[in-house]
Amino acid sequence: MKLLLSTCGAARVGLMAAIGLAGLINNSSQGETTEANLSKRFNVKPGGQLVIEVDRGGIEISTGETSEVKVEVKRKITGVSSAKAEETFAAHELTFDQDGDRVEVHARFKKDFLQSLNKATQKMQVHYEILVPSKFNLDLRTSAGEISSSDIEGTVKARTAGGSLKFGHVKGPFEGITSAGSISLEGASGVVTAKTSGGSISLGQLESETTAETSAGSIAVKRANLKLTAITHGGSIDLGELSGPARVETSAGSIVVKTAKEQLSAITHGGRIEIGELSGPAQLETSAGSIKVSSAHAPLVANTSGGGIEIDQAQDTVVAHTSAGSIAAAFTGQPHGDCRLTTSGGGINLRVAENLGFDLDARTSGGRVITELPVTITVVGEHRNGALKGKLNGGGKLLELKTSAGDIVLKK
């Protein structure tokens, strides 16, 4: 069943009421405001689909224990005469179509009317309020406006060329794309794709593979259980609990991760990196900022071109380098591979648990090597004051410490 509505003002209200259209005209002598509102109901079963493709206006979806789709369309024009407003409403075609449990809503201006550059078309505001069953699939598109929905079960697709996306929990996959606006999703059980060209992204609990990308804004994720890819070209990244592998990158901003249980790659070209607990291997890189890791239970690679590096508890292999800054680390577990801590402009302060064994190679070009730990050395020829090479606790994997300007200090 297909229904085409083209509104022409108060004179046609009586006829339109028969098909569920209510026209409300409010205007002053100056033609300040004219409204034309309408509603339509469709009987459906849970699991159906709502398709909306409109030229403008926000879309607001609410869900409930219902067996119908209820569509409310609110339109108004301010600043033109009522006659001009009625002409504009008449040219704005609304189409309703139902095929079984699939409901479609389309809206656009007649082509010749748009070409006339009518000022009223620019002033017209539209808002769609729609009630659907709590289990329903959504395919929503608007050229200008915000899209939102409460909790829903089904496949959700939402796209807007100019507005934000705000969604509750989605029991199913979610795809949200906006050209200018933020994206907010409380959670999803299916695959998630969230992309915006100009806004922040905030995601809650994610049960499946997720991709989040913004050209200018921050990214925040509360929890990701599977693979996560988070990329921003101009903002910070703040991540909570990561149970799957993650690749995160920002061109200008900090990266903060609470916990990462699997492989983590974190790269920023202009900010600090701060990690809580690492249970999987990690590669951390920043072009201008510090790196701090609270605990690392797996191999760690950390590089910065302009900042210090701090690792509170390292229980596996560590390779860390900074071009301008100090390094402070503590080994509380025996690494499985060779470790290297190097800096071109700062000191190295290292704590080593008394039961750990290393083959130590410590060298500084502009400072001293100081140790509280017993090091077994073999000296042949002249011994350099700025170097210490020997075995800690009988030896083990290589521990290379090297700085071009600063002291090297080993403590218990």
Least confident of 73-82, 190-199, 325-334: 73-82
Q: What is the dihedral of CA 335, 338, 343, 346, to 10 degrees?
A: 40
The predicted-structure confidence for 274-324, as pLDDT tens digits, reads as follows: 999 999 999 999 999 999 999 999 999 999 998 999 999 999 999 999 999
Q: Residue 17 has what pLDDT?
A: 31
User: Which one has a higher pLDDT value, 165 or 81?
Assistant: 165
Inside any domain, residue 191: no
Inside any domain, residue 121: yes
Inside any domain, residue 6: yes
Inside any domain, residue 403: no
Q: Residue 112 has what pLDDT?
A: 77
| Residue 45: Cβ within 10 Å count | 12
Residue 143 confidence (pLDDT) above 90: yes
- What's the CA gap between 337 and 316, in Å, rounded? 7
Residue 178 confidence (pLDDT) above 70: yes
**Which of helix, strand or coil describes residue 82?**
helix
- How many residues are listed for the chain in this entry? 412
Q: Residue 382 has what pLDDT?
A: 60
Inside any domain, residue 69: yes
The predicted-structure confidence for 91-139, as pLDDT tens digits, reads as follows: 999 999 999 999 999 999 987 776 665 677 888 999 999 999 999 999 9
Residue 332 confidence (pLDDT) above 50: yes
Q: Residue 383 has what pLDDT?
A: 60
The predicted-structure confidence for 346-395, as pLDDT tens digits, reads as follows: 999 999 999 999 999 999 998 999 999 999 987 666 667 789 999 999 99
Q: Distances from the Cα of 306 to the Cαs of 235, 311, 409, in angstroms?
A: 19, 16, 21
Q: Residue 408 has what pLDDT?
A: 96
Q: Residue 1 has what pLDDT?
A: 52
Inside any domain, residue 66: yes
Count of domains in the chain? 1
E-state strands within 152-299: 152-153, 156-160, 165-171, 174-178, 183-188, 192-196, 201-206, 210-214, 219-224, 228-232, 237-242, 246-250, 255-260, 264-268, 273-278, 282-286, 291-296
User: Which one has a higher pLDDT value, 15 or 57?
Assistant: 57
Inside any domain, residue 220: no
Asked whether the whole model's pTM tops 0.85, one would answer yes
The domain containing residue 82 runs over which residues?
Answer: 1-145
Q: Residue 192 has what pLDDT?
A: 98
Pairing mode of beta strands 156-160, 174-178: parallel
Nearest CA among 66, 36, 56, 45 for reference residue 130? 66
Residue 232 confidence (pLDDT) above 70: yes
| Residue 138: Cβ within 10 Å count | 25
Q: Residue 378 has what pLDDT?
A: 74
Q: What is the mean pLDDT of residues 61-69?
A: 98
Average pLDDT, the chain: 91
**Which of helix, strand or coil describes residue 40?**
strand
Q: Residue 115 has what pLDDT?
A: 60
Residue 146 confidence (pLDDT) above 50: yes
- What's the CA gap between 84 and 192, in Å, rounded? 44
Q: Which of the four pLDDT bands, split at 50, 70 and 90, describes residue 16?
A: very low
The DSSP result for 349-391, as a single string, is EEEE-TT--EEEEEEESSS-EEESS-EE----SPPPTTEEEEE
Inside any domain, residue 251: no
